[in-house]
Structure 1
């Protein structure tokens, strides 16, 4: 289920990517944006392999893609299309969200915006008319990505996660004009 953009190849993770996943999820400055509560840092390759195996269980059109830069073949992060927790099922019956995580060295190149735009288009092509982006309220970098994507800001919600989330919405007409 690869996706291609001008500069990026979005591809499935392989066990060979475990070192990269461990590197990213072992960083407090990254993990602090991913879950409620105290960041839980990944500490070993077995945990990274288990995370990759978990991601592989998503059913299309849902997926977790490695973001690979075409010019260098370097993996710089990932982008996902996943169910919103506790929203009445998965992609076919519940709400879905797109999310992104980059290695800190990959910030500032537009990779998150480019990858998320491709995944939102993939979701819409698969018949998912509404795709949400949920982030921690103070995650200004992700807010800027959502704004660059032209997503509608729905404000703050306390649904689905323990902490409040800032929520944006992508619909077919909104994301295609940016």
Structure 2
């Protein structure tokens, strides 16, 4: 892997991708207390956040998980309004034997359907590949068509169903650094 970049905030035409801050805790709670958001995250039954203390603790954990560039789990802020739309992440997959990295996103329902996930994820992919990642994976629940569409918009290949990193089946998408550079 090449020398990693610093995890400096990423800017797109409409978005600022930056670390979660403690003054974002109420918005994080609003996002993560919604089963319509959390049902797509991780394994098993959705876990909904219960209170602001939990949001503050999560913000601290996300800062720790984002300490090794180019990996991060950050807020997606709409530049025009300053409102946090959701999160985007680039992290090592659970139980990864070869250090495989996944990209992911989740947005508040009031921010969905506007292209924010694709825009933020594209910025994050560019960041990850510039930081030396050879490839990036995405895993979705089998019935998460909106996230699968984002994967396709990002140029990721649908590799079918896997049961490798998470309990149960996931739809597996992949793009390599070489493919990304050829498109951009």
Instruction: Normalising by structure 1, report the TM-score.
Output: 0.94
What secondary structure, in the 3-state scheme, does the structure 2 residue paired with 1:85 have?
A: coil
Please tell me whether the aligned partners of residues 81 and 119 of structure 1 are also in contact (alpha carbons under 8 angstroms): yes
Aligned-residue Cα RMSD (Å) equals 1.2
Pair 1:83 & 2:85 matched: no
Q: Within 5 Å, which residues of 2 pair with 1:18-37?
A: 18-37=25-44
User: Matches of 1:98 and 1:66 in 2, distance apart?
Assistant: 14
What whole-Å deviation, never above 9, does each CA across 1:116-175 have from its counterpart, x for those lacking one? 001011000000010101111110000010011111111110001112111111212433
Pair 1:13 & 2:16 matched: no
Instruction: Normalising by structure 2, report the TM-score.
Output: 0.91
For structure 1, the 5+ residue unaligned runs are: none
What secondary structure, in the 3-state scheme, does the structure 2 residue paired with 1:39 have?
A: coil
CA shift for structure 1 position 85: 0.4
- Structure 1 residue corresponding to 2:122, chosen from 109, 117, 123: 117
For structure 2, the 5+ residue unaligned runs are: 1-7
4+ runs deviating over 2 angstroms: 172-178
Q: How many residues align?
A: 174
User: Matches of 2:79 and 2:139 in 1, distance apart?
Assistant: 28
Q: Which has the higher contact order (CA 8 A, sep 6+)?
A: 2
